[in-house]
Amino acid sequence: MTAGARQPMRPRLLPTVGAVIAALVLVVAGLAVAAYNENTFKAQASREAQVQADIVAASVTAALAFDDESAAQEYLDALRANPQVEAAGLYNSAGRLLAGYRREARQALPTRVVNPFSAQSDGHIMVAAPVVQGATRLGSVYIRTDAEPPARRAFRYVAIGLLGVMASLVVVILAGANSVQRQANRALGEANEMLRLQIEQRERAEEALRQSQKMEAMGQLTGGVAHDFNNLLMVASSGLELLDRTQDPRRRETLRQAVRQALDRGADLTRQLLAFSRRSPLKSSVVDLGAQLDGMRVLLDRSLREDIVVRFDIEPGLWPVEVDPVQLEVALLNIAVNARDAMPNGGLITIRARNRPDRAVEGLDGDFVELTVTDTGRGMSAETIHRVFEPFFTTKAVGKGTGLGLSQVYGFTRASGGDARIRSEPGRGAAISLFFPRSTRPLDAPAADAGPPPEVRTPANVTVLLVEDDDAVAHAVGAMLSELGYRYDRAPNATAALERLESGQHVDLVFSDMVMPGAIDGVTLARVIRDRWPDLPVVLTSGFSEAADAAARDGWRLLAKPYRMETLAAELAAARADGPAPRDAAAKS
């Protein structure tokens, strides 16, 4: 009976043992899942915190460049929507706290953040990301988020396993956590996408603003340019009339030189205006500030009235600085125009450049080059000085200014790693100083001066196909070609030029304008000639800077208008000696 009574108990023990084993397996599996989920959670939380810091760093670039503490604080306060963010701080390039956010008053922020980092401690995740603009580091963003401590989570999972409902609770908890995490990730992804779009829109707006500032400065040039060109045209027209009225060889040579000088001055001014107004991204380079200022004399003369004297005081041996040369010209022109408007009855503008060694300027550490523009105008009140660098702030009458000029000056100097300061009193003029850090890099090499072209002998029986739509220009260039000894045939457009070539007409060289009416421009014509008549040299000519870029990308020879006869002779001779443009140059475009 005893044996028979014990045997039925074994089948009943099997499910119990199996349940215990299954429970233990589930507990172990649950702990394993918990450990894995903990690692995954921490890694995900670190990534999310880093992404959040990178987004904030990209958003506060303008605020940090303009040292705008209120705008920076608004960006940090927006982090309140994320309950995991406990604290955040924005630090300038020196590591000093500029703006901060704390969910609770007892939570502290580090007083300085120097290098970007990522760390975890006591259930908290701390990350930092650099704030950069181009190659300039403006500061850092610091964010601390809350992460649940591992011990608390492990205790919860073990307790659930000991209660015997590990399997169901683990499934429910993991499913719920994954669902919440997916929703959170989806919401964060949507927020990140929205921030990315906002950043792109802001970048486009900033680029449009820079271009509008440049165009405003161009508008200030218009009156002076028109005046200068009228003077040049007067010199040229009067010189031509006097040439017809005199037979004195010395007098005719003097008049001819005067006309030539006027034409050269007009060509130089046109090239400067095209380079100044050209739409291009910010591009810093190491420049000699003294040489850069010397090259701006013509632009400044054109933007100011005749009753205003500009005096330059440039210290010899200026240190090199790394700036965007075009933005430097825009900034200096904006300051000069403001000085002009502050002197309605004329006056003196002094442009001074000095080396300022380490700690010579209060608030600046390191070597700087100081560029100061001083005027003898009406000056400014303390209230105006306090707001003068604000965008859209202006004391000028409606329609006389947008208030963007000095804000561009401030933003440009801050983005270049420097600073802008103003000194003024009512009735005693104003002095605006720009400070640029000394660059340790070597100066960027300037374009080599080719010098005057050598005299070229033209071979006999050389035929040039001249492709030019303007009758007056075609007549003048044709006369120059004839004078040089070339035979030429003119085609009014690219289509007519191709018809001449297809007819079998003998041509030794094609000299074509780039901008012409019709479906085929000069570059396209050159490409067709290279493909169909590969041994035929082509020289292009244009007065547009954009056209020059297109020709350079394809490797074509380009003669910029206006040009002299000796330059034309040298370019055509070089083209015949070199042959057609290489095909690999076109392949790179």
Please give the pLDDT value at position 369.
Answer: 96
**418 and 294 share one domain:** yes
Q: In this model, does residue 399 exceed pLDDT 50?
A: no
Q: Are 327 and 282 in contact (CB under 8 A)?
A: yes
Angle at 66 between CA 61 and CA 70, to 5 degrees: 85
Identify the CATH number of the domain in which residue 40 sits. 3.30.450.20
**486 and 406 share one domain:** no
Which strands, in side-by-side order, build the sheet including 419-424? Answer: 308-314, 347-356, 368-375, 430-437, 419-424
**348 and 471 share one domain:** no
The CA distance from 326 to 313, in Å, is 21
**331 and 385 share one domain:** yes
Residue that terminates a domain, selected from 115, 144, 164: 164
Residue 417 lies in a domain: yes
Please give the pLDDT value at position 577.
Answer: 84
Residue 372 lies in a domain: yes
Phi, psi of 443 (to 5 degrees): -60, 140
Residue that terminates a domain, selected from 402, 437, 472: 437
Task: Specify burial of residue 190 (Cβ count, 10 A radius: 0-12, 13-18, 19+).
Answer: exposed
Residue 510 lies in a domain: yes
Q: Is 514 helix (H, G, I), strand (E, B) or coil?
A: coil
Amino acid, single-letter form, for residue 492: P
Q: What's this model's pTM, rounded to 2 decimal places?
A: 0.41
**311 and 399 share one domain:** yes
Q: Is 348 helix (H, G, I), strand (E, B) or coil?
A: strand
Higher confidence at residue 354 or residue 284?
Answer: 354
Residue 307 lies in a domain: yes
Q: Are 369 and 318 in contact (CB under 8 A)?
A: yes
**364 and 468 share one domain:** no
Identify the CATH number of the domain in which residue 550 sits. 3.40.50.2300
**397 and 472 share one domain:** no
3-class SS shares of the chain: helix, strand, coil, % to 5: 50, 20, 30
**475 and 432 share one domain:** no
**563 and 432 share one domain:** no
Residue 374's alpha-carbon distances to 76, 371, 384, 431, in angstroms, are 39, 10, 17, 4
Q: Are 356 and 369 in contact (CB under 8 A)?
A: yes
- pLDDT, average across residues 46-70: 82
Number of domains in the chain: 3
Residue 243 lies in a domain: no
Confidence of residue 4 (pLDDT cuts 50, 70, 90): very low
Please give the pLDDT value at position 402.
Answer: 41
Identify the CATH number of the domain in which residue 304 sits. 3.30.565.10
Q: In this model, does residue 527 exceed pLDDT 80?
A: yes
Task: Specify burial of residue 201 (Cβ count, 10 A radius: 0-12, 13-18, 19+).
Answer: exposed
Q: In this model, does residue 1 exceed pLDDT 50?
A: no
Residue that terminates a domain, selected from 133, 164, 195: 164
- pLDDT, average across residues 507-526: 89
The CA distance from 250 to 255, in Å, is 9
Among 61-70, 296-305, 335-344, 392-401, where is mean pLDDT lowest?
392-401
Residue 62 lies in a domain: yes
DSSP string, 275-299: HHH-------EEE-HHHHHHTTHHH
Write down the residue that tokens 């992460």 correspond to: 147
**365 and 472 share one domain:** no
What ranges in 246-344 are assigned the alpha helix state H? 249-277, 289-294, 297-303, 325-341
Confidence of residue 273 (pLDDT cuts 50, 70, 90): low
Containing domain of residue 497, as a range?
463-587
Residue 227 lies in a domain: no
**38 and 136 share one domain:** yes
Residue 476 lies in a domain: yes
**155 and 290 share one domain:** no
The CA distance from 39 to 42, in Å, is 5
Mean pLDDT of all residues belonging to the chain: 77
Please give the pLDDT value at position 394.
Answer: 61
